[in-house]
Structure 1
Amino acid sequence: MQKPINENFFIAQIGRTVGLWGDLKLHLHTDFPEQFKVGNSYQSNRGELTISDINFKRGTIRFQGYESIDAAKKLTNTKLYADEAQTKEQCPLEEGQHFWFNVIGCTVNQGDELLGVVDDIQRLADVDYLSIKTDKALVDTGLPKNFLVPYIDRYVINTDEKSKIVHVKDAKDILEAS
């Protein structure tokens, strides 16, 4: 699966106004809240927005040029986006962590057998699932065209971003039971 160039990732949505000074509720859709800092700018469906204040304890954010309640109301339901370069710059990863955009498109191998390709990642409750498009050879044997594998140590051995391979164990059992 080829990623679009300059793809933006949905990272937050702005909610209702809070107080009198243009504060807005911030609804995060990212694993990296630390990327939201005063002075950082993000693309939105209303143009570029620059953070002038953020309060994680209260779950609020304020943007430059929208410091009054009337101005801030215009941003209600606005979605914030970050691109791949901005995400990599502002979101440091720990050992063994991967950005979803680096995992999507990886082949999924169990031992020497190709099971398929990661075509999406879905979060259900607090677990990420690899949505895998099953390899044609396996589909031809009557197995499902798609299946989900929890991205947990029980099933995922490792992810090699350079080789674009996710090594799994017992995932074929999930495929066969699907």
Structure 2
Amino acid sequence: MQLVVARIGRAHGIKGEVTVEVRTDEPELRLGPGARLTTDPAANGPLTIETGRVHSGRLLLRFEGVRDRTAAEALRNTLLIADVDPAELPEDPEEFYDHQLIDLDVLLADGTEIGRITEISHLPSQDLFIVERPDGSEVMIPFVEEIVTEIDLEEQRAVITPPPGLIDDSQAVIVSSRDEEASEPGNDA
């Protein structure tokens, strides 16, 4: 299985280093010296990482055979792709690889079907599930513990407890009316 682990940015300096936008939770594993990565576009690779370092909060890499700024600039916007064994799991049991989450069914805690995860969007502040609804529309669900309460890989499902309005406007009304009922005097629900 192949995973996009980074995108090459601007050249840095004159000796062939490039900035990279990291797209993996395990950069030390996937982007370390000696790692051989395929590329998109394929004509730019494969590339083998010679050195890596952090400078001003950004990861800088130098690849074997890339010795000057011109060669580094030619790689800009190239995606770096690692080959990963599909059976490999992250060390932390609370972490998941994208390929484990794609195609999971997304359900509310009461079993109501929301849709299927078709993509994971990695943003600086948090990751988002892109979920395709049965009607073909999409909804974005933040992959945070307060909303995604359970990931069950055996059952191929993600259980969510969305805040009002996240799924759709009618959900906001349903949740609001439940909250009002629960807060009525004499209702111990």
TM-score range relative to shorter protein: 0.7 to 0.9
Which of 98, 101, 110 matches 1:100? Answer: 98
- The answer on 1:24 being equivalent to 2:15 is no
Indicate the SS of the match to 1:56. strand
- 1:139-167 per-residue CA deviation (whole Å, 9 max, x = no partner) reads 5xxxx833222222222111011221111
| Map of 1:51 onto structure 2 | 49
- The answer on 1:168 being equivalent to 2:160 is yes
Structure-2 separation of matches of 1:148 and 1:70:
39
Structure 2 segments unaligned to the other structure (5+ residues): 171-189
- The answer on 1:114 being equivalent to 2:113 is yes
CA distance change for structure 1 residues 74 and 164 in 2, over 3 Å: closer, same or farther? same
Structure-2 separation of matches of 1:21 and 1:103:
39
- The answer on 1:151 being equivalent to 2:157 is no
State whether residues 26 and 60 of structure 1, in contact with CA within 8 Å, keep that contact through their aligned partners in structure 2.
yes
| Map of 2:75 onto structure 1 | 75
Quick one: which amino acid aligns to residue 130 of structure 1?
Answer: F
Structure-1 separation of matches of 2:85 and 2:144:
26
Structure 1 segments unaligned to the other structure (5+ residues): 1-5
| Map of 2:3 onto structure 1 | 9
Quick one: which amino acid aligns to residue 34 of structure 2?
Answer: G
Query: Which of these two proteins has the greater Rg computed from alpha carbons?
Result: 2
| Deviating more after overlay: 13-22 vs 110-119 | 13-22
CA distance change for structure 1 residues 42 and 132 in 2, over 3 Å: closer, same or farther? same
CA distance change for structure 1 residues 18 and 147 in 2, over 3 Å: closer, same or farther? closer
CA distance change for structure 1 residues 77 and 108 in 2, over 3 Å: closer, same or farther? closer
State whether residues 115 and 172 of structure 1, in contact with CA within 8 Å, keep that contact through their aligned partners in structure 2.
no
| Deviating more after overlay: 101-110 vs 56-65 | 56-65
CA distance change for structure 1 residues 70 and 86 in 2, over 3 Å: closer, same or farther? farther
* RMSD of aligned alpha carbons: 2.9
The structure whose RCO (Cα within 8 Å, separation 6+) is larger is 1
What is the count of residue pairs matched by the alignment? 163
- 1:41-96 per-residue CA deviation (whole Å, 9 max, x = no partner) reads 1011212110111112353211112234454443333321123428948xx34121
State whether residues 23 and 122 of structure 2, in contact with CA within 8 Å, keep that contact through their aligned partners in structure 1.
no
Structure-1 separation of matches of 2:88 and 2:142:
24
Quick one: which amino acid aligns to residue 153 of structure 1?
Answer: E
| Map of 2:37 onto structure 1 | 42
